[in-house]
A and B are shown apart, each in its own frame.
Chain A
């Protein structure tokens, strides 16, 4: 049973650039949530996708956008990167109406 997968594992970008992160949910799951985790902090909710629509959004600027595909996989896009966007980006999958979320290995983004 494949778990949540994310790509790439690590990424280095410069300020002002754009980045796309990818996530495939656990087999059988239909909901994908994205989180940002700064060093020493708990994950912060960015947004959640279900049925290819953004269902809920956290306190993140419009530079953060996403997409969900018919196969339930998802992308997170960040435009105009800032130094403060350096973090571990986590994707979590779940079944709609169930609250247990399972995390992928994460993508470590470094903005120089």
Chain B
């Protein structure tokens, strides 16, 4: 079955690193994504990783994938107040339904000045 879980809330101080965690259950997942949602807006693609990789870095963002434990994390270095938002992880399972994404419930990141 497909189930993606995230912790609900994370609070950090400006300048610190943030680590948002996600677990998924379907071992056939091939791509895993991180999206950011600000109030009243749609989802902004941050980064994604293919399941044969264990790490991907993109400027302040680092994604770590532990496929054995089905654990995905997003690290934001030097977190800024503008990073305050809800972060969703999502898995993509390549079946006949095309590139369907299953999302977690989202983690609300609050950055304190």
Partners in one complex: no
